[in-house]
Structure 1
């Protein structure tokens, strides 16, 4: 959901919840591109897909018809082709899957008698007309050099999985799988197609010396993260009783890179509500809060993403407060190391009185006024004014302090007048609350005069 909308109500609409998850995913992908210099086409395409869907949910852009989307990538098809099974896929992605040795149609589960790809000119024309009608740039076919990395240079997927049963080959196989699943969408999809494939991979979790070998440990955690990106794999991984405990253990005892990747994996898995419950029940909040407190910049962001997603479930908010997330997130706001992300978490907790009072007692009123005036982020302005309203609602002393600040600066009135709709509405509610204080002050002064 929109991070500001997420803070508005525990009963937020499912669409708002989806917006927040898309923003979190987009944030992760953009960070890969900007901070980690991840220049692969694969990452850019995933970010473009998340941004397009976010645009649709936020501004009401037209939803792409389901049959225009490739079953493998989930993206608008650039070069639709028909398999012998009669099912249509985007050429680049189905070719990649065929190159990996797969000969089963993902949709029909039919064994393919040949690997001939026939252009679907009718569907290509329909996509072109739909794009023109909705003023959307027509996606061009992937170039031959196009950045989709096939299994060339890697061992076949089935061979890598078979090597998981050999103690002498496990470490090298996991390194290959990490690279393959990072760069290759089709390999992620393929891993989830056969019921025994992911359990075969996860058999390595019981390997002796796994967690004592930092490189092997990190490769394993990161491979799970990569696999979890494919939507269908989130449930498979979450339902395996070994995965979430392994990731939580990695959060506690891995090196910083491993802890960061474990947090990112938990964030990815927490897109499913059923996984949110398991992640919290198995004790992930405390080590995530510790990572938010002690980690490096990337690790803190990954921890914040996971905590935010987890707290979208109303029942998890109380547990997050008890584990100290408020104090840690507020410290990240005050030291300006993770302002936007931390405010989003705190705004989710605005209905928890103890959370609000803790912020108010830690310099919350002047700091939030400063954020509203200085921040360039619309979401942060909205979340800051929402938190201010909550503080003023619960604490009459801070309410009077906020009124004094507002009378000096006109910060909230300005936001009400020129802010975007969400922030403006929240600013209006805060002004109404503060105006009640002003009226009572006037009445009190009138009584004293008499």
Structure 2
């Protein structure tokens, strides 16, 4: 499958405009297996997108193709990628290309069989034949911490010596402060000692060889020794985090995150967070199938394990290439549930993960459809993570579905009431509250009526006089819109975030702003 000549690009073009017809589709719109413009794109468990028929053929033939980057996809889970399909259809309309049709099963089968014949035979051990079970083991935890915790009155306290604040900006410090602790689950590590059939060949360091051998050992004390060693090595050295994040090592590390032994679990999870801090590692980790494992831990693990899972998802969500895949693979609902965790760090990092994930349109729509808006508004009213939750609501208000759900949920009355009663815990939170109102006012004919009922003008006029510079500017614009009776069309997320006190750069992890374990 290494020869590029096998993947012939075939797609239907309109004959109405020869100039437009000559424009080839973007490379990412082409299925790496069928070589044709995708008509029904699906995301697989390892994060790549393929034509649905191509994936089905590979599964029927029990074949895992080798892609151009040397990786092999994981077909154990398939999820429709509606956002990508819409993007492809939009490109077709803009370029004068006919909408793609699903390729014929038999024609794709011929392509796949040719690829199978061209690749050397791969021999599988008995353990490797169980890959379909081993890759996605059923994780059974003894309990989940989901009770609503006390109201947060501060964000930058920490009892951990290894905690580090990642945002040193004034107003609302947003920490990634995950404590190294232990947890236990009931999944047997012996059941998932192999996670990948094809392990990349090539020279590796003696250090990596030792770690991988111990990860795969049946002796628990050797696994413990290896994950503790990896955690210490990746705690502070960036070059080590990059060099050790190899397909071979992270393949062997993945099953240890759901080991039944607490020392193995906590150190494996902490090591993953450390590895994820390097930008070059983030996409690699997601493509290696860690998201389903982290979701399992977040759903049912002890509080300590949930802290690490939430922290890892937050860190991985900082990479733009990961955002859609994390949402498609099902992380949004568990993250919403984790906002009610007993652990302060789990709540905070889950909220930050959701904020970064909802910078993507497809994730906004998914979260709204999950019924998240009423829950988020309730949290704002109660003062639970108000500043962070308002960030998420600002993102949701940037799409029509989110605005409609928020207006239906009496968001205007809720936000105006909070400002009137001065119940928000900081000026930064008040800025975010005003910015959320401003986002709701964009492109909505209902906003003006709801704002009048809530007597928003008198509250906003007070903010114009006494609020911070950003809050005053947003309040002024809302008042002008209401007085003029004008509604602006659309909403500019970057404008809301930057001019409304929600500068995205304040929440990004940089080289000097990282947490290690």
Q: How does 1:24-423 map to 2 (within 5 A)?
A: 34-35=157-158, 37-40=159-162, 43-44=163-164, 47=166, 50-51=167-168, 159-168=210-219, 169-177=221-229, 179-181=231-233, 184-186=235-237, 188-193=238-243, 196=246, 199-206=248-255, 210-240=258-288, 242-294=289-341, 296-373=343-420, 374=422, 375-391=424-440, 399-403=448-452, 405-406=454-455, 410-423=458-471
**Residue 401 to residue 315, structure 1, CA distance change in 2 (3 Å):** closer
Q: Residues 160-193 of structure 1: CA distance to partner in whole angstroms, max 9, x if unpaired? A: 45422322134412551465157x311x531422
Q: Residues 366-422 of structure 1: CA distance to partner in whole angstroms, max 9, x if unpaired? A: 331243352353443233223324545677666345335447x82201222343333
1:397 & 1:278 partners in 2: Cα distance?
34
Query: SS at the partner of 1:223?
Result: helix
Give the drift of 1:217: 2.9
Question: Which sections of structure 2, spanning at least 5 residues, go unmatched?
Answer: 1-153, 171-206, 487-517
2:259 & 2:217 partners in 1: Cα distance?
17
**Residue 416 to residue 178, structure 1, CA distance change in 2 (3 Å):** farther
**Residue 345 to residue 181, structure 1, CA distance change in 2 (3 Å):** farther
2:305 & 2:448 partners in 1: Cα distance?
44
Compare 411-420 and 211-220 and name the one that shifted more.
Answer: 211-220
Q: Residues 218-251 of structure 1: CA distance to partner in whole angstroms, max 9, x if unpaired? A: 33222211221233322332332x2222212222
Query: SS at the partner of 1:410?
Result: helix
CA RMSD of aligned residues (A): 3.3
Contact 1:238–1:244 (8 Å) recurs in 2: yes
1:302 & 1:271 partners in 2: Cα distance?
12
**Residue 392 to residue 225, structure 1, CA distance change in 2 (3 Å):** same
Contact 1:344–1:380 (8 Å) recurs in 2: no
Question: Which sections of structure 1, spanning at least 5 residues, go unmatched?
Answer: 1-29, 56-155, 439-450
Give the drift of 1:337: 1.3
Greater share of residues in helix: 1
- Give 1:58's aligned residue: none
2:253 & 2:157 partners in 1: Cα distance?
33
Give the drift of 1:158: 6.7
- Give 1:91's aligned residue: none
1:39 & 1:221 partners in 2: Cα distance?
18
2:454 & 2:374 partners in 1: Cα distance?
24
Q: How many residues align?
A: 294
Contact 2:298–2:305 (8 Å) recurs in 1: yes
Q: Residues 91-119 of structure 1: CA distance to partner in whole angstroms, max 9, x if unpaired? A: xxxxxxxxxxxxxxxxxxxxxxxxxxxxx
Structure 2 length normalisation: TM-score? 0.50
Query: SS at the partner of 1:435?
Result: helix
**Residue 293 to residue 354, structure 1, CA distance change in 2 (3 Å):** farther
1:316 & 1:377 partners in 2: Cα distance?
28
**Residue 406 to residue 252, structure 1, CA distance change in 2 (3 Å):** same
Query: SS at the partner of 1:193?
Result: helix
Give the drift of 1:432: 1.7
Query: SS at the partner of 2:419?
Result: helix
Give the drift of 1:331: 1.8
1:194 & 1:255 partners in 2: Cα distance?
28
2:414 & 2:250 partners in 1: Cα distance?
49
2:479 aligned with 1:434: no
Structure 1 length normalisation: TM-score? 0.57
Give the drift of 1:203: 0.7
Higher RCO by CA contacts (8 Å cutoff, separation 6 or greater): 2
